[in-house]
Chain A
Amino acid sequence: MLLSKEEVEHIAMLARLNLSEEEKERYREQLSSILGHVAQLQALNTDDVEPLVSVLAKEMPLREDLPSPGLSLKEATENAPDVKADQFKVPPILDGADE
Protein backbone atom coordinates (compact mmCIF):
# COMPACT_ATOMS: atom_id res chain seq x y z
CA MET A 1 0.00 0.00 0.00
CA LEU A 2 1.68 3.14 -1.21
CA LEU A 3 0.58 6.58 -0.03
CA SER A 4 -0.24 9.10 -2.72
CA LYS A 5 1.86 12.22 -3.10
CA GLU A 6 -1.20 14.28 -2.12
CA GLU A 7 -1.52 12.36 1.12
CA VAL A 8 2.11 13.05 1.97
CA GLU A 9 1.61 16.72 1.17
CA HIS A 10 -1.48 16.84 3.39
CA ILE A 11 0.38 15.25 6.30
CA ALA A 12 3.29 17.64 5.80
CA MET A 13 0.93 20.59 5.78
CA LEU A 14 -0.68 19.44 9.06
CA ALA A 15 2.77 19.41 10.65
CA ARG A 16 3.67 22.69 8.92
CA LEU A 17 6.62 21.09 7.15
CA ASN A 18 7.94 22.35 3.84
CA LEU A 19 9.15 19.32 1.94
CA SER A 20 11.21 19.26 -1.23
CA GLU A 21 10.09 17.00 -4.08
CA GLU A 22 12.86 14.58 -3.20
CA GLU A 23 11.75 14.49 0.49
CA LYS A 24 8.11 13.94 -0.48
CA GLU A 25 9.13 10.86 -2.42
CA ARG A 26 11.38 9.56 0.39
CA TYR A 27 8.70 10.09 3.10
CA ARG A 28 6.09 8.55 0.87
CA GLU A 29 8.08 5.33 0.89
CA GLN A 30 8.96 5.49 4.59
CA LEU A 31 5.44 6.32 5.77
CA SER A 32 4.02 3.65 3.50
CA SER A 33 6.30 1.04 4.98
CA ILE A 34 5.28 2.07 8.52
CA LEU A 35 1.61 1.78 7.58
CA GLY A 36 2.35 -1.56 6.00
CA HIS A 37 3.83 -2.76 9.26
CA VAL A 38 0.76 -1.60 11.19
CA ALA A 39 -1.48 -3.30 8.62
CA GLN A 40 0.40 -6.51 9.31
CA LEU A 41 -0.33 -6.15 13.07
CA GLN A 42 -3.97 -5.53 12.29
CA ALA A 43 -4.19 -8.99 10.76
CA LEU A 44 -4.09 -10.41 14.30
CA ASN A 45 -7.40 -11.27 15.88
CA THR A 46 -7.71 -9.07 18.97
CA ASP A 47 -11.41 -9.59 19.69
CA ASP A 48 -10.73 -10.83 23.20
CA VAL A 49 -8.01 -8.30 24.04
CA GLU A 50 -8.83 -5.17 26.04
CA PRO A 51 -7.43 -2.05 24.37
CA LEU A 52 -4.32 -0.87 26.19
CA VAL A 53 -3.92 2.87 26.59
CA SER A 54 -0.88 2.86 28.84
CA VAL A 55 1.53 0.33 30.32
CA LEU A 56 1.97 2.48 33.42
CA ALA A 57 0.36 2.10 36.85
CA LYS A 58 -3.39 1.79 36.58
CA GLU A 59 -4.57 4.87 38.41
CA MET A 60 -3.61 8.41 37.73
CA PRO A 61 -2.45 10.50 40.66
CA LEU A 62 -4.60 13.61 40.99
CA ARG A 63 -3.70 16.96 42.45
CA GLU A 64 -5.48 18.81 45.24
CA ASP A 65 -6.96 22.12 44.12
CA LEU A 66 -4.38 24.34 45.84
CA PRO A 67 -2.65 27.18 44.00
CA SER A 68 1.09 27.84 44.02
CA PRO A 69 3.06 30.47 42.13
CA GLY A 70 4.39 29.71 38.65
CA LEU A 71 6.89 31.68 36.61
CA SER A 72 7.70 35.33 37.11
CA LEU A 73 6.91 37.54 34.13
CA LYS A 74 10.65 37.86 33.48
CA GLU A 75 11.18 34.08 33.54
CA ALA A 76 8.15 33.56 31.36
CA THR A 77 9.16 35.98 28.65
CA GLU A 78 12.96 36.24 28.69
CA ASN A 79 13.61 33.51 26.14
CA ALA A 80 10.93 34.64 23.71
CA PRO A 81 12.18 35.94 20.35
CA ASP A 82 9.94 38.98 20.58
CA VAL A 83 7.92 40.49 23.43
CA LYS A 84 5.85 43.63 23.52
CA ALA A 85 3.75 44.99 26.40
CA ASP A 86 4.53 41.78 28.32
CA GLN A 87 3.00 39.71 25.55
CA PHE A 88 4.56 37.27 23.13
CA LYS A 89 4.71 38.78 19.69
CA VAL A 90 4.38 36.43 16.74
CA PRO A 91 3.98 36.68 12.98
CA PRO A 92 0.63 35.77 11.40
CA ILE A 93 0.41 32.03 10.91
CA LEU A 94 -2.92 31.26 9.29
CA ASP A 95 -1.59 31.56 5.72
CA GLY A 96 -2.73 35.15 5.85
CA ALA A 97 -6.31 33.99 6.37
CA ASP A 98 -6.60 35.86 9.65
CA GLU A 99 -4.97 39.07 8.45
Chain B
Amino acid sequence: MPEYEIVIGLETHIQLNTETKIFCACKADSWEEEPNTNICPVCSGLPGVLPVPNAAVAEKAVLLAQAMNAEVQTDSYFDRKNYFYPDLPKGYQITQYDQPIATGGYLDLPMGDYTRRVEIEKLHIEEDAGKTKKEGNRRFIDFNRCGVPLIEMVTGPNLRSADEAAEYLIRLRQLLRWLNISEANMEKAHLRADANVSIRLKGEDKLNTKTEIKNVNSIEAVRTAIQKEAKRQIKEVEDGNDIKPWTLDWDEDTEMLSKMRSKETEADYRHFKEPDLLKVHVDQAWQDRILKDFPELPLARRQRFVDEYQLPAYDADILTNERSLSDYFEQAVKAYDGDVKRVSNWMINDIQRMLNESGKMAGELKLKPEYLAEIIQLVDSKKVNNPTGKSLLDKVESTGKSPQEIVEAEGLGQVSDTGAIREIAQAIVDENPDQVEKYLGGKDGLIGWFVGQVMQKSQGKANPNMAREILLEIFSEK
Protein backbone atom coordinates (compact mmCIF):
# COMPACT_ATOMS: atom_id res chain seq x y z
CA MET B 1 0.00 0.00 0.00
CA PRO B 2 1.38 3.47 -0.84
CA GLU B 3 2.12 5.81 2.02
CA TYR B 4 -0.54 8.41 2.77
CA GLU B 5 -0.38 11.71 4.58
CA ILE B 6 -3.23 13.28 6.54
CA VAL B 7 -3.98 16.95 5.97
CA ILE B 8 -5.91 18.67 8.76
CA GLY B 9 -7.20 22.16 9.37
CA LEU B 10 -8.98 23.11 12.59
CA GLU B 11 -11.80 25.55 12.97
CA THR B 12 -12.15 26.65 16.59
CA HIS B 13 -14.73 28.70 18.41
CA ILE B 14 -13.48 30.24 21.62
CA GLN B 15 -15.93 31.49 24.24
CA LEU B 16 -14.46 34.57 25.87
CA ASN B 17 -14.62 34.84 29.65
CA THR B 18 -15.96 38.38 29.75
CA GLU B 19 -18.47 39.35 32.43
CA THR B 20 -21.14 40.33 29.91
CA LYS B 21 -22.30 39.34 26.46
CA ILE B 22 -20.94 40.94 23.32
CA PHE B 23 -23.76 43.43 22.57
CA CYS B 24 -25.77 43.68 25.80
CA ALA B 25 -25.21 43.69 29.57
CA CYS B 26 -26.56 40.18 30.21
CA LYS B 27 -24.07 37.91 31.98
CA ALA B 28 -21.90 36.01 29.50
CA ASP B 29 -21.78 32.84 31.56
CA SER B 30 -25.07 30.94 31.85
CA TRP B 31 -23.58 27.59 32.83
CA GLU B 32 -26.21 25.66 34.81
CA GLU B 33 -28.64 28.61 34.77
CA GLU B 34 -32.32 27.91 34.13
CA PRO B 35 -33.36 28.37 30.47
CA ASN B 36 -34.20 31.90 29.30
CA THR B 37 -33.28 33.56 32.60
CA ASN B 38 -30.28 35.45 31.24
CA ILE B 39 -31.67 37.29 28.24
CA CYS B 40 -32.78 40.81 27.34
CA PRO B 41 -34.44 42.50 24.35
CA VAL B 42 -31.07 42.84 22.55
CA CYS B 43 -29.83 39.24 22.71
CA SER B 44 -33.28 37.72 22.21
CA GLY B 45 -33.69 39.76 19.04
CA LEU B 46 -36.74 41.84 19.89
CA PRO B 47 -37.57 44.54 17.34
CA GLY B 48 -36.25 48.07 17.73
CA VAL B 49 -33.19 47.35 19.86
CA LEU B 50 -29.60 48.39 19.20
CA PRO B 51 -26.45 46.41 19.99
CA VAL B 52 -23.68 48.15 21.97
CA PRO B 53 -20.34 46.33 21.77
CA ASN B 54 -18.45 45.27 24.87
CA ALA B 55 -14.98 46.87 24.98
CA ALA B 56 -13.54 43.81 26.78
CA VAL B 57 -14.29 41.63 23.76
CA ALA B 58 -12.06 43.77 21.53
CA GLU B 59 -9.38 43.75 24.23
CA LYS B 60 -9.33 39.97 24.49
CA ALA B 61 -9.27 39.64 20.71
CA VAL B 62 -6.22 41.93 20.59
CA LEU B 63 -4.49 39.78 23.24
CA LEU B 64 -5.15 36.61 21.26
CA ALA B 65 -4.04 38.25 18.00
CA GLN B 66 -0.77 39.26 19.66
CA ALA B 67 -0.24 35.73 21.00
CA MET B 68 -0.89 34.24 17.54
CA ASN B 69 1.52 36.66 15.85
CA ALA B 70 -1.43 38.11 13.91
CA GLU B 71 -1.75 41.71 12.84
CA VAL B 72 -4.38 43.75 14.66
CA GLN B 73 -6.43 45.93 12.33
CA THR B 74 -7.03 49.48 13.52
CA ASP B 75 -10.46 49.45 11.90
CA SER B 76 -12.61 46.38 11.62
CA TYR B 77 -16.28 45.88 10.86
CA PHE B 78 -19.21 43.75 11.87
CA ASP B 79 -21.32 41.97 9.26
CA ARG B 80 -24.63 40.17 9.23
CA LYS B 81 -24.62 36.52 8.29
CA ASN B 82 -28.18 35.74 7.28
CA TYR B 83 -29.81 32.38 7.83
CA PHE B 84 -32.86 30.94 9.52
CA TYR B 85 -32.44 28.60 12.41
CA PRO B 86 -34.51 28.29 15.59
CA ASP B 87 -31.56 29.19 17.85
CA LEU B 88 -30.98 32.49 16.03
CA PRO B 89 -33.74 34.89 17.05
CA LYS B 90 -32.74 37.79 14.79
CA GLY B 91 -32.53 35.69 11.63
CA TYR B 92 -28.87 36.70 11.31
CA GLN B 93 -25.68 36.34 13.28
CA ILE B 94 -23.47 39.36 13.87
CA THR B 95 -19.96 38.34 12.88
CA GLN B 96 -16.95 39.78 11.06
CA TYR B 97 -16.58 38.87 7.43
CA ASP B 98 -14.10 40.57 5.12
CA GLN B 99 -12.58 43.13 7.51
CA PRO B 100 -11.96 41.24 10.76
CA ILE B 101 -10.12 42.49 13.85
CA ALA B 102 -6.90 40.67 12.97
CA THR B 103 -5.28 39.08 9.95
CA GLY B 104 -2.48 36.58 9.43
CA GLY B 105 -0.68 34.89 12.28
CA TYR B 106 0.75 31.52 13.16
CA LEU B 107 1.54 29.23 16.07
CA ASP B 108 4.68 27.10 16.26
CA LEU B 109 3.98 23.72 17.83
CA PRO B 110 6.84 21.92 19.56
CA MET B 111 6.50 18.29 18.44
CA GLY B 112 9.52 16.79 20.18
CA ASP B 113 12.15 16.55 17.47
CA TYR B 114 10.51 19.00 15.08
CA THR B 115 8.37 22.13 15.06
CA ARG B 116 5.13 22.43 13.14
CA ARG B 117 4.13 25.92 12.05
CA VAL B 118 0.36 26.33 11.91
CA GLU B 119 -0.90 29.32 9.98
CA ILE B 120 -3.97 31.24 11.06
CA GLU B 121 -6.31 31.94 8.17
CA LYS B 122 -9.08 33.62 10.08
CA LEU B 123 -9.43 35.36 13.43
CA HIS B 124 -12.62 37.26 14.07
CA ILE B 125 -15.19 38.22 16.69
CA GLU B 126 -18.79 37.05 16.60
CA GLU B 127 -21.82 36.31 18.74
CA ASP B 128 -22.95 32.85 19.76
CA ALA B 129 -26.43 31.45 19.04
CA GLY B 130 -28.86 29.87 21.52
CA LYS B 131 -29.41 26.21 22.23
CA THR B 132 -32.15 24.04 20.82
CA LYS B 133 -33.24 20.62 21.85
CA LYS B 134 -35.42 18.29 19.83
CA GLU B 135 -38.28 16.55 21.53
CA GLY B 136 -40.75 14.60 19.42
CA ASN B 137 -41.42 16.75 16.38
CA ARG B 138 -40.96 20.02 18.23
CA ARG B 139 -37.92 22.07 19.15
CA PHE B 140 -37.33 23.71 22.50
CA ILE B 141 -35.23 26.84 22.61
CA ASP B 142 -33.12 28.39 25.33
CA PHE B 143 -31.72 31.81 24.35
CA ASN B 144 -29.30 32.17 27.32
CA ARG B 145 -26.27 31.56 25.12
CA CYS B 146 -27.37 34.08 22.47
CA GLY B 147 -24.88 36.92 22.26
CA VAL B 148 -22.10 35.23 24.22
CA PRO B 149 -18.84 36.55 22.74
CA LEU B 150 -16.82 34.18 20.59
CA ILE B 151 -13.63 34.34 18.63
CA GLU B 152 -13.61 32.14 15.59
CA MET B 153 -10.13 31.08 14.63
CA VAL B 154 -9.36 28.89 11.63
CA THR B 155 -6.01 27.30 10.83
CA GLY B 156 -4.60 26.55 7.43
CA PRO B 157 -4.40 22.90 6.28
CA ASN B 158 -1.01 22.65 8.00
CA LEU B 159 -1.50 19.84 10.49
CA ARG B 160 -0.21 16.44 9.42
CA SER B 161 -1.42 14.01 12.06
CA ALA B 162 -4.07 13.50 14.71
CA ASP B 163 -1.34 14.10 17.30
CA GLU B 164 -0.45 17.46 15.78
CA ALA B 165 -4.13 18.45 15.83
CA ALA B 166 -4.37 17.46 19.49
CA GLU B 167 -1.15 19.34 20.28
CA TYR B 168 -2.52 22.47 18.61
CA LEU B 169 -5.61 22.33 20.82
CA ILE B 170 -3.53 21.67 23.94
CA ARG B 171 -1.29 24.67 23.18
CA LEU B 172 -4.23 26.88 22.25
CA ARG B 173 -6.04 25.98 25.48
CA GLN B 174 -2.88 26.71 27.46
CA LEU B 175 -2.52 30.10 25.76
CA LEU B 176 -6.16 31.07 26.30
CA ARG B 177 -5.90 30.35 30.02
CA TRP B 178 -2.45 31.96 30.29
CA LEU B 179 -3.83 35.21 28.87
CA ASN B 180 -7.14 34.94 30.74
CA ILE B 181 -9.08 35.10 27.48
CA SER B 182 -11.24 32.02 28.00
CA GLU B 183 -11.75 29.23 30.53
CA ALA B 184 -11.18 27.03 27.46
CA ASN B 185 -12.99 24.05 28.91
CA MET B 186 -13.97 21.82 25.98
CA GLU B 187 -16.52 19.85 28.01
CA LYS B 188 -18.34 23.12 28.71
CA ALA B 189 -18.00 24.16 25.05
CA HIS B 190 -15.79 27.16 25.88
CA LEU B 191 -13.50 25.76 23.24
CA ARG B 192 -15.11 23.99 20.26
CA ALA B 193 -13.21 22.43 17.42
CA ASP B 194 -14.30 21.19 14.02
CA ALA B 195 -11.70 19.32 12.00
CA ASN B 196 -11.32 19.36 8.22
CA VAL B 197 -9.65 16.14 7.17
CA SER B 198 -8.32 14.94 3.84
CA ILE B 199 -5.59 12.56 2.74
CA ARG B 200 -3.04 12.48 -0.07
CA LEU B 201 -0.07 10.42 -1.13
CA LYS B 202 3.03 11.37 0.77
CA GLY B 203 5.04 13.88 -1.22
CA GLU B 204 2.05 15.35 -3.05
CA ASP B 205 1.12 18.95 -2.35
CA LYS B 206 -2.40 19.17 -3.76
CA LEU B 207 -5.40 19.32 -1.46
CA ASN B 208 -7.98 16.57 -1.95
CA THR B 209 -11.66 16.61 -1.08
CA LYS B 210 -12.07 17.02 2.67
CA THR B 211 -14.68 16.01 5.17
CA GLU B 212 -15.62 18.08 8.19
CA ILE B 213 -15.91 16.50 11.63
CA LYS B 214 -18.27 18.28 14.01
CA ASN B 215 -19.38 17.99 17.64
CA VAL B 216 -16.15 16.72 19.16
CA ASN B 217 -15.95 17.87 22.75
CA SER B 218 -12.59 16.78 24.08
CA ILE B 219 -9.04 16.82 22.81
CA GLU B 220 -8.84 13.03 23.03
CA ALA B 221 -12.03 12.75 20.96
CA VAL B 222 -10.51 15.04 18.29
CA ARG B 223 -7.50 12.73 18.14
CA THR B 224 -9.57 9.55 17.87
CA ALA B 225 -12.08 11.01 15.39
CA ILE B 226 -9.33 12.20 13.03
CA GLN B 227 -7.57 8.83 13.19
CA LYS B 228 -10.79 7.00 12.36
CA GLU B 229 -11.72 9.35 9.54
CA ALA B 230 -8.27 9.20 7.94
CA LYS B 231 -8.39 5.41 8.08
CA ARG B 232 -11.83 5.42 6.44
CA GLN B 233 -10.67 7.76 3.66
CA ILE B 234 -7.58 5.67 2.96
CA LYS B 235 -9.74 2.57 2.67
CA GLU B 236 -12.16 4.34 0.29
CA VAL B 237 -9.30 5.47 -1.94
CA GLU B 238 -7.64 2.04 -1.85
CA ASP B 239 -10.97 0.53 -2.87
CA GLY B 240 -11.13 2.93 -5.81
CA ASN B 241 -13.92 5.12 -4.42
CA ASP B 242 -14.14 8.92 -4.31
CA ILE B 243 -14.14 10.90 -1.08
CA LYS B 244 -17.36 12.92 -0.80
CA PRO B 245 -17.34 16.28 0.98
CA TRP B 246 -19.42 15.05 3.89
CA THR B 247 -20.05 16.70 7.21
CA LEU B 248 -19.57 14.08 9.89
CA ASP B 249 -21.09 14.03 13.33
CA TRP B 250 -19.02 12.58 16.18
CA ASP B 251 -20.93 10.45 18.67
CA GLU B 252 -19.13 10.57 21.98
CA ASP B 253 -20.72 7.43 23.44
CA THR B 254 -20.11 5.07 20.52
CA GLU B 255 -16.95 6.87 19.28
CA MET B 256 -18.39 6.68 15.76
CA LEU B 257 -18.65 9.18 12.95
CA SER B 258 -21.87 9.40 11.02
CA LYS B 259 -22.86 11.44 8.01
CA MET B 260 -24.96 14.46 8.90
CA ARG B 261 -28.00 15.07 6.75
CA SER B 262 -27.08 17.92 4.50
CA LYS B 263 -29.45 20.73 3.75
CA GLU B 264 -31.00 20.63 0.30
CA THR B 265 -29.74 24.04 -0.70
CA GLU B 266 -26.29 25.52 -0.84
CA ALA B 267 -25.55 27.90 2.03
CA ASP B 268 -26.12 31.48 0.92
CA TYR B 269 -25.47 33.79 3.84
CA ARG B 270 -25.65 37.12 2.01
CA HIS B 271 -23.13 38.85 4.28
CA PHE B 272 -23.45 42.61 4.46
CA LYS B 273 -22.13 45.26 6.83
CA GLU B 274 -24.15 45.42 10.05
CA PRO B 275 -26.00 48.74 9.70
CA ASP B 276 -26.60 49.00 13.48
CA LEU B 277 -22.88 49.12 14.28
CA LEU B 278 -20.00 51.35 13.31
CA LYS B 279 -16.45 50.27 12.78
CA VAL B 280 -14.48 48.93 15.72
CA HIS B 281 -11.64 51.37 16.12
CA VAL B 282 -8.63 50.02 18.01
CA ASP B 283 -6.09 52.79 17.68
CA GLN B 284 -2.43 52.49 18.62
CA ALA B 285 -2.94 54.09 22.03
CA TRP B 286 -5.61 51.54 22.98
CA GLN B 287 -3.55 48.67 21.61
CA ASP B 288 -0.61 49.86 23.69
CA ARG B 289 -2.76 49.94 26.83
CA ILE B 290 -4.08 46.42 26.16
CA LEU B 291 -0.60 45.03 25.51
CA LYS B 292 1.17 47.00 28.25
CA ASP B 293 1.49 43.99 30.57
CA PHE B 294 1.56 41.32 27.88
CA PRO B 295 3.24 38.35 29.55
CA GLU B 296 5.98 36.06 28.35
CA LEU B 297 4.12 33.24 26.57
CA PRO B 298 4.27 29.62 27.74
CA LEU B 299 6.33 28.22 24.87
CA ALA B 300 8.88 31.01 25.13
CA ARG B 301 9.08 30.57 28.87
CA ARG B 302 9.46 26.81 28.46
CA GLN B 303 12.47 27.39 26.23
CA ARG B 304 13.93 29.93 28.66
CA PHE B 305 13.61 27.49 31.57
CA VAL B 306 15.68 25.00 29.56
CA ASP B 307 18.29 27.59 28.53
CA GLU B 308 18.51 29.66 31.68
CA TYR B 309 18.06 27.01 34.38
CA GLN B 310 19.32 23.97 32.45
CA LEU B 311 16.10 22.16 33.29
CA PRO B 312 15.15 19.02 31.35
CA ALA B 313 12.45 19.70 28.71
CA TYR B 314 10.11 17.48 30.72
CA ASP B 315 10.42 19.71 33.80
CA ALA B 316 10.16 22.91 31.75
CA ASP B 317 6.98 21.63 30.12
CA ILE B 318 5.25 20.88 33.42
CA LEU B 319 6.44 24.12 35.02
CA THR B 320 5.01 26.22 32.18
CA ASN B 321 1.80 24.30 31.83
CA GLU B 322 -0.11 26.95 33.70
CA ARG B 323 0.82 30.55 34.41
CA SER B 324 0.24 30.66 38.14
CA LEU B 325 2.38 27.55 38.69
CA SER B 326 5.04 28.95 36.41
CA ASP B 327 5.19 32.33 38.20
CA TYR B 328 5.29 30.51 41.56
CA PHE B 329 8.26 28.45 40.42
CA GLU B 330 10.24 31.48 39.33
CA GLN B 331 9.56 33.29 42.60
CA ALA B 332 10.72 30.23 44.54
CA VAL B 333 13.85 30.04 42.38
CA LYS B 334 14.60 33.70 43.13
CA ALA B 335 14.26 33.10 46.86
CA TYR B 336 16.34 29.92 46.80
CA ASP B 337 20.09 29.64 46.89
CA GLY B 338 21.15 26.37 45.27
CA ASP B 339 20.48 24.03 42.37
CA VAL B 340 17.30 25.05 40.48
CA LYS B 341 16.57 21.38 39.72
CA ARG B 342 15.95 20.93 43.47
CA VAL B 343 13.15 23.50 43.34
CA SER B 344 11.80 21.89 40.17
CA ASN B 345 11.66 18.47 41.89
CA TRP B 346 9.80 19.84 44.89
CA MET B 347 7.40 21.68 42.57
CA ILE B 348 6.66 18.67 40.37
CA ASN B 349 6.37 16.15 43.20
CA ASP B 350 5.01 18.07 46.15
CA ILE B 351 3.48 21.38 45.10
CA GLN B 352 1.63 19.64 42.25
CA ARG B 353 0.23 17.11 44.72
CA MET B 354 -0.92 19.90 47.06
CA LEU B 355 -2.58 21.71 44.15
CA ASN B 356 -4.29 18.54 42.94
CA GLU B 357 -5.57 17.78 46.43
CA SER B 358 -6.80 21.28 47.21
CA GLY B 359 -7.98 22.32 43.75
CA LYS B 360 -6.17 25.63 44.28
CA MET B 361 -4.02 27.61 41.87
CA ALA B 362 -0.38 27.93 42.91
CA GLY B 363 -0.83 31.65 43.53
CA GLU B 364 -3.56 30.90 46.09
CA LEU B 365 -1.40 28.75 48.37
CA LYS B 366 -0.61 30.02 51.86
CA LEU B 367 2.67 28.23 51.30
CA LYS B 368 4.28 31.17 49.53
CA PRO B 369 7.10 30.51 47.05
CA GLU B 370 9.54 32.05 49.57
CA TYR B 371 8.41 29.51 52.18
CA LEU B 372 8.98 26.65 49.75
CA ALA B 373 12.48 27.97 49.11
CA GLU B 374 13.04 28.22 52.87
CA ILE B 375 11.94 24.60 53.45
CA ILE B 376 14.24 23.26 50.73
CA GLN B 377 17.05 25.33 52.22
CA LEU B 378 16.36 23.88 55.71
CA VAL B 379 16.66 20.39 54.25
CA ASP B 380 19.78 21.29 52.23
CA SER B 381 21.54 22.62 55.32
CA LYS B 382 20.43 19.51 57.27
CA LYS B 383 18.60 21.63 59.81
CA VAL B 384 15.64 19.32 59.23
CA ASN B 385 15.64 15.94 57.54
CA ASN B 386 13.83 15.22 54.29
CA PRO B 387 10.59 13.74 55.74
CA THR B 388 10.31 16.65 58.18
CA GLY B 389 10.80 19.03 55.26
CA LYS B 390 7.95 17.37 53.38
CA SER B 391 5.69 17.51 56.42
CA LEU B 392 6.46 21.21 56.77
CA LEU B 393 4.76 21.88 53.42
CA ASP B 394 1.34 20.95 54.73
CA LYS B 395 1.98 22.54 58.11
CA VAL B 396 2.83 25.88 56.51
CA GLU B 397 -0.15 25.57 54.17
CA SER B 398 -2.60 24.90 56.99
CA THR B 399 -1.24 27.52 59.44
CA GLY B 400 0.23 30.17 57.14
CA LYS B 401 3.20 30.39 59.52
CA SER B 402 6.75 30.49 58.24
CA PRO B 403 8.67 27.18 58.14
CA GLN B 404 11.33 28.52 60.54
CA GLU B 405 8.62 29.47 63.04
CA ILE B 406 7.10 25.97 62.91
CA VAL B 407 10.46 24.25 63.24
CA GLU B 408 11.21 26.25 66.39
CA ALA B 409 7.74 25.93 67.93
CA GLU B 410 7.56 22.17 67.39
CA GLY B 411 11.24 21.38 67.96
CA LEU B 412 11.53 19.74 64.56
CA GLY B 413 15.21 20.51 64.11
CA GLN B 414 17.11 17.49 62.89
CA VAL B 415 19.20 15.68 65.50
CA SER B 416 22.69 15.44 64.07
CA ASP B 417 24.24 14.94 67.45
CA THR B 418 25.97 11.56 67.14
CA GLY B 419 25.79 10.92 70.87
CA ALA B 420 22.01 11.25 71.00
CA ILE B 421 21.50 9.09 67.90
CA ARG B 422 23.98 6.48 69.18
CA GLU B 423 22.03 6.24 72.42
CA ILE B 424 18.75 5.58 70.59
CA ALA B 425 20.40 3.14 68.14
CA GLN B 426 22.00 1.18 70.96
CA ALA B 427 18.63 0.90 72.74
CA ILE B 428 16.94 -0.40 69.58
CA VAL B 429 19.70 -2.99 69.12
CA ASP B 430 19.40 -4.10 72.73
CA GLU B 431 15.62 -4.38 72.56
CA ASN B 432 15.57 -6.53 69.40
CA PRO B 433 17.98 -9.43 69.75
CA ASP B 434 16.04 -11.62 67.27
CA GLN B 435 16.26 -9.03 64.50
CA VAL B 436 19.94 -8.45 65.27
CA GLU B 437 20.58 -12.17 64.92
CA LYS B 438 18.78 -12.29 61.56
CA TYR B 439 20.70 -9.27 60.34
CA LEU B 440 24.03 -10.71 61.36
CA GLY B 441 22.93 -13.99 59.78
CA GLY B 442 22.93 -12.28 56.37
CA LYS B 443 19.58 -10.46 56.08
CA ASP B 444 21.20 -7.17 55.06
CA GLY B 445 17.87 -5.64 54.09
CA LEU B 446 16.95 -5.41 57.77
CA ILE B 447 19.19 -2.37 58.15
CA GLY B 448 16.31 -0.31 56.74
CA TRP B 449 14.05 -1.59 59.47
CA PHE B 450 16.58 -0.57 62.17
CA VAL B 451 16.92 2.91 60.66
CA GLY B 452 13.12 3.16 60.64
CA GLN B 453 13.02 2.26 64.33
CA VAL B 454 15.58 4.93 65.17
CA MET B 455 13.61 7.50 63.19
CA GLN B 456 10.41 6.54 64.97
CA LYS B 457 11.96 6.74 68.41
CA SER B 458 13.47 10.14 67.59
CA GLN B 459 10.08 11.32 66.34
CA GLY B 460 11.48 11.71 62.87
CA LYS B 461 14.18 14.14 63.91
CA ALA B 462 17.23 11.94 63.54
CA ASN B 463 19.38 12.37 60.49
CA PRO B 464 18.64 9.05 58.73
CA ASN B 465 22.06 8.80 57.06
CA MET B 466 23.76 9.29 60.35
CA ALA B 467 21.48 6.72 62.00
CA ARG B 468 22.44 4.19 59.32
CA GLU B 469 26.14 4.81 59.80
CA ILE B 470 25.94 4.47 63.56
CA LEU B 471 23.90 1.27 63.29
CA LEU B 472 26.47 -0.22 60.89
CA GLU B 473 29.16 0.76 63.34
CA ILE B 474 27.36 -0.96 66.23
CA PHE B 475 26.82 -4.12 64.17
CA SER B 476 30.44 -4.19 63.01
CA GLU B 477 31.48 -4.29 66.65
CA LYS B 478 29.34 -7.39 67.28
Contact = CB atoms under 8 A, between A and B. Distances in A.
B140 interface: yes
Nearest to A82: B138
A61 B34 contact: no
A48 interface: no
Contacts of A91: 137-139
A70 B25 contact: yes
Interface string B248-281: 0000000000000111110010100101011111
Main secondary structure of the interface of B (DSSP, over half): loop
A63 to B, nearest CB: 5
Contacts of A67: 19-20, 25-27
A92 B138 contact: yes
A93 interface: yes
B52 A71 contact: no
A98 B134 contact: yes
B142 A87 contact: yes
Interface string A4-31: 0000001001101000000000000000
Interface string A53-97: 110111111111111101101001100000011111111111101
A95 to B, nearest CB: 6
Contacts of B82: 14
B53 interface: yes
Contacts of A77: 36
Given A86-B35, A98-B134, A98-B261, A65 B84 contact: no
A99 B139 CA distance: 10
Nearest to A91: B138
A90 B54 contact: no
B138 A70 contact: no
A47 B226 CA distance: 47
B48 to A, nearest CB: 14
Given A71-B41, A76-B39, A97-B261, A89 B54 contact: no
Interface residues of A, number: 39
A66 B20 contact: yes
A54 B279 CA distance: 9
Given A67-B26, A70-B26, A87-B141, A61 B52 contact: yes
A20 B54 CA distance: 44
A8 B163 CA distance: 48
A86 to B, nearest CB: 5
B40 A71 contact: yes
B474 interface: no
A2 to B, nearest CB: 21
A91 B86 CA distance: 9
Given A14-B268, A89-B138, A94-B263, A68 B25 contact: yes
20 contacts: A16-B84, A59-B281, A60-B53, A60-B281, A62-B55, A63-B53, A63-B54, A63-B55, A65-B56, A67-B20, A70-B41, A70-B43, A73-B37, A86-B36, A87-B35, A87-B133, A89-B139, A90-B138, A90-B139, A93-B85
Closest 4 CB pairs of A and B: A70-B40, A60-B278, A65-B56, A62-B55
